[in-house]
């Protein structure tokens, strides 16, 4: 728990040069130096100490990546026990073998100067984190490549820095998972939450219940061998893999394969659509637990991590209420609510997993009690947090909070460990800045940002009020119970082709939130560094940049996609659950259209916004000309795309955005013309234009044109000159 004590005493060192290095996540402490370590073909790496095989392999990969980036033909390459420094090089000193587990020591120290690079760590995992930092420090100039001179003392603020990948909605094959793991390691994340089972599919082989993968996977699942391959791949990069089998709700796939598990007899099939469904395991039958005993023991044996996620979210309880025998069971066992029955179920599942030595993790609902709103409010006001939760939840259970502050507070106040996911739902395609400013310990008035989306949280506004009034809601001890957070990639609306662009680079901002000091909240600099890291991540095989034009080429059937590519960089998918509400998307519908090609939080939108803002403020002629030629380009591109659409119907979603882009660009050009002629613009902004921009900003084809408002603001600044 050393890291937790460290966390409290943490402070953010502003370096003398007041220059922030191109690192993400930023280290806990660093000082830039004046002299760098130049890299030449004699570069070598030596590892000293009781090192695990992991770090040799990572060091070899590191060597290879440095060669790829710099084009240097190194004289040596594989790093093994025989690798010794004879002169300048990287010396890695390790005390002992690392143990990949919750609370593991990931600290390291890195000293780069002209003569040497010294990376010291207590174990190989810390050393791997240090190598992830070092590769980001490659710099280039006329003289060649170098590692930036710096002194770093680093360790994570939180021990649980996760990414959830849900396999049931759209299956992500091994290559996607492997490159995801590589990217996670690059930004020092350490938990892959591997979500296996849901209403739409069951995604790993089961030897004890083979109908699970045979019937409920459409042939898309990981064999035992592949699960081991993935776990081993993650282990080599210092990443734990925590599996989730979501029970008793979200279990259509399981019930479809084994209908005797159902609470209600009906014709079951995999769900094609997304949402919350009623099928639920019957928690009153012995045969359900026999099944789970064999199944969970089998799954547990595949994942060496001590933690095992049992889901527990979004059980509607309806199927339990429908079944007379379940209702009787609740009565005779004095279980007043379905949440109470679920609590009964959870304890039996926990007992099963305990036999395999596992500690369970669950979503909010596994802890929360059904309490009438008025009573709940009173309990909350009186600080009677114990009344908000179910009794009998084992104290070692970890709560994953997807609904927010109430659960997080109740969990910590009652002594439960927890991890935050609300605010880190990257599938909702919100900007990185939003995720970046979300903090796993939100109970301080300087770091709260309220979240209006998907608010299941009864007391959020009350909590925020209390915090803002200066009330200290959590003690230092209670804060320590918050282990970290997890970005969640629910894969309803992604394919293997678009997965990366929905996860990266935004997840790097979350990685920084979870690793770096809480005080670090400079959004502009986060974006500056994220853009750099984004290119570096691409070298790991990520497709988040390169698949855009590939997808455009598919729809065009030719290489001629420049206009489309220019246009699509201003379009972002609608945020939150807006796309979910349209019920036409399924497991098999195409994810190859405009909304899938557009990516969240576009860099071009940020650049154009900055250009417009700057030109609007300075009104320098050079800037105005820049804006003008940009707008002219919009018109050229829009017209070209309109012609393309005519022959390629799959491009039809682009039509409306091109029409608006063309029209608003014309308004902008017009405004600049008038301004440059020296005339007044006071009557320029009429109702017609207001209406046009209002329409242009609206959602089309599940996308929003993100440059409308920035352009309007620019025009307004001319109008108000």
Which stretches of the chain bind its own copies, using CB under 8 A?
Answer: 57, 64, 67-74, 77-78, 140-142, 144-145, 173-175, 218-219, 223, 225-226, 229, 531-532, 535, 538-539, 543, 545-547, 549-550, 553-559, 584, 586, 588-593, 603, 646-650, 652
- Kindly report each contact of residues 384-388 with a partner whose C-beta sits within 8 Å and lies 24 or more positions away, as own/partner: 385/409, 385/410, 385/413, 385/414, 386/413, 386/414
Residue 418 CA from chain centroid, whole number: 17
Nearest CB to its own copies, comparing residues 389 and 630: 630
Whole-angstrom distance, CA of residue 160 vs CA of residue 147: 29
240-245 vs 191-198, strand pairing mode: parallel
CB 164 within 8 A of CB 193: yes
Whole-angstrom distance, CA of residue 84 vs CA of residue 91: 9
**Whole-number minimum distance, CB 236 to its own copies, in Å?**
10
Nearest CB to its own copies, comparing residues 87 and 219: 219
**Whole-number minimum distance, CB 494 to its own copies, in Å?**
14
Nearest CB to its own copies, comparing residues 13 and 174: 174
**Whole-number minimum distance, CB 547 to its own copies, in Å?**
7
Whole-angstrom distance, CA of residue 466 vs CA of residue 478: 17
335, 336, 341, 347: CA torsion to nearest 10: -60
Which residues does 670 contact at the CB level (< 8 Å), separation at least 6?
Answer: 684
Nearest CB to its own copies, comparing residues 111 and 592: 592
Nearest CB to its own copies, comparing residues 348 and 528: 528
**Whole-number minimum distance, CB 539 to its own copies, in Å?**
5
Taking Cα atoms as reference points, which of 583, 592, 528 lies closest to residue 557? 592
Give 617: exposed, middle or buried? Use CB within 10 Å, 0-12, 13-18, 19+.
exposed
Computed over its alpha carbons, how large is the radius of gyration of the chain? 27
Nearest CB to its own copies, comparing residues 470 and 590: 590
**Whole-number minimum distance, CB 546 to its own copies, in Å?**
4
Structure tokens at 471: 């009330």
Whole-angstrom distance, CA of residue 163 vs CA of residue 510: 10
Nearest CB to its own copies, comparing residues 351 and 636: 636
**Whole-number minimum distance, CB 200 to its own copies, in Å?**
13
Nearest CB to its own copies, comparing residues 179 and 422: 179
**Whole-number minimum distance, CB 226 to its own copies, in Å?**
8
Nearest CB to its own copies, comparing residues 229 and 453: 229
Nearest CB to its own copies, comparing residues 175 and 690: 175
Q: How far apart are the first and last CA of the chain?
A: 58
3-state secondary structure of 145: strand
Whole-angstrom distance, CA of residue 603 vs CA of residue 569: 8
**Whole-number minimum distance, CB 3 to its own copies, in Å?**
31
Read off φ and ψ for residue 280, nearest 5 degrees: -145, 145
3-state secondary structure of 454: coil
**Whole-number minimum distance, CB 173 to its own copies, in Å?**
8
């Amino acid at each position: 728990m050393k890291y937790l004590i460290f966390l409290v005493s943490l402070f953010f060192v502003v370096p003398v040069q007041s220059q922030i290095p191109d690192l993400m996540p930023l280290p806990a402490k660093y000082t830039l130096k004046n002299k760098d370590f130049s890299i030449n073909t004699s570069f070598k790496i030596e590892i000293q100490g009781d090192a695990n095989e992991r770090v040799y392999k990572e060091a070899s990969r590191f060597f290879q990546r440095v060669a790829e980036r710099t084009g240097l033909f190194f004289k040596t390459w594989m790093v093994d026990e025989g690798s010794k420094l004879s002169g300048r090089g990287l010396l890695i000193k390790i005390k002992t073998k690392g143990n990949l587990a919750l609370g593991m020591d990931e600290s390291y120290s890195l000293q780069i100067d002209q003569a040497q690079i010294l990376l010291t760590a207590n174990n190989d995992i810390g050393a791997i984190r240090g190598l992830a930092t070092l590769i980001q420090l490659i710099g280039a100039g006329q003289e060649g490549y170098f590692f930036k001179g710096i002194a770093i003392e680093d360790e994570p603020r939180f021990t649980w820095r996760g990414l959830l990948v849900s396999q049931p909605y759209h299956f992500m094959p091994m290559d996607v998972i492997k490159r995801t793991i590589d990217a996670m390691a690059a930004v020092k994340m350490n938990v892959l939450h591997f979500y296996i089972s849901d209403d739409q599919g069951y995604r790993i082989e089961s030897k004890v219940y083979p109908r699970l993968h045979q019937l409920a996977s459409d042939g898309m699942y990981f064999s035992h061998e592949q699960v081991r391959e993935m776990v081993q791949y993650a282990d080599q990069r210092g990443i734990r893999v925590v599996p989730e089998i979501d029970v008793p709700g979200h279990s259509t796939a399981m019930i479809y394969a084994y209908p005797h598990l159902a609470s209600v007899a009906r014709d079951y099939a995999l769900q094609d659509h997304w949402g919350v469904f009623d099928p639920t395991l019957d928690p009153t039958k012995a045969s359900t637990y026999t099944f789970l005993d064999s199944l969970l023991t089998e799954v547990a044996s595949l994942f060496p991590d001590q933690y095992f996620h049992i889901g527990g979210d979004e059980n509607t309880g309806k199927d339990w209420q429908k079944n007379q025998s379940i209702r009787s069971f609740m009565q005779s066992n004095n279980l007043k609510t379905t949440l109470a029955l679920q609590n009964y179920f959870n304890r039996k599942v926990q007992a099963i997993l305990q036999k395999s030595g596992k500690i369970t993790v669950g979503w909010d609902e596994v802890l929360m009690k059904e309490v009438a709103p008025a009573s709940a409010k009173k309990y909350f006001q009186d600080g009677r947090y114990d009344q908000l939760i179910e009794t009998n939840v084992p104290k070692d259970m970890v709560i994953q909070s997807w609904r927010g502050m109430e659960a997080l507070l109740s969990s910590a106040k009652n002594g439960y460990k927890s991890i935050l996911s609300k605010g880190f739902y990257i599938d909702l395609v919100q900007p990185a800045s939003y995720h970046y400013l979300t903090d796993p310990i939100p109970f301080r008035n300087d770091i709260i940002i309220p979240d209006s989306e998907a608010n299941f949280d009864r007391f959020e506004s009350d909590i925020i009020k209390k915090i803002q009034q200066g009330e200290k809601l959590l003690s230092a001890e209670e804060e320590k119970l918050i282990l970290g957070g997890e970005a969640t990639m629910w894969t309803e609306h992604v394919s293997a082709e678009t997965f990366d662009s929905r996860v990266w680079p935004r997840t790097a901002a979350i990685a920084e939130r979870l690793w770096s000091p809480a005080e670090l909240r400079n959004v502009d600099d986060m974006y500056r560094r994220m853009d750099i890291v984004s290119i570096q991540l691409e070298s790991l095989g990520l497709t988040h940049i390169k698949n855009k034009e590939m997808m455009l080429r598919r729809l065009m059937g030719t290489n001629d996609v420049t206009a489309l590519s220019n246009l699509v960089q201003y379009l972002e998918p609608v945020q939150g659950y807006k796309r979910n509400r349209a019920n036409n998307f399924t497991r098999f519908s195409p994810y190859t259209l405009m909304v899938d090609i557009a990516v969240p939080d576009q860099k071009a939108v940020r650049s154009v916004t900055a250009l417009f803002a700057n030109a609007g403020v300075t009104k320098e002629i050079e800037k105005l000309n820049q804006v003008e030629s940009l707008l002219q380009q919009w018109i050229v591109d829009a017209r070209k795309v309109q012609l393309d659409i005519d022959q390629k119907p799959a491009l039809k979603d682009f039509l409306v955005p091109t029409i608006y882009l063309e029209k608003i660009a014309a308004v902008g050009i017009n405004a600049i013309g008038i301004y440059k002629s020296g005339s007044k613009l006071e009557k320029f902004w009429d109702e017609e234009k207001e209406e046009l921009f209002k329409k242009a900003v609206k959602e089309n084809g599940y996308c929003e044109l993100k440059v409308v408002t920035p352009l309007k603001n620019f025009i307004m600044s001319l109008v108000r000159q």
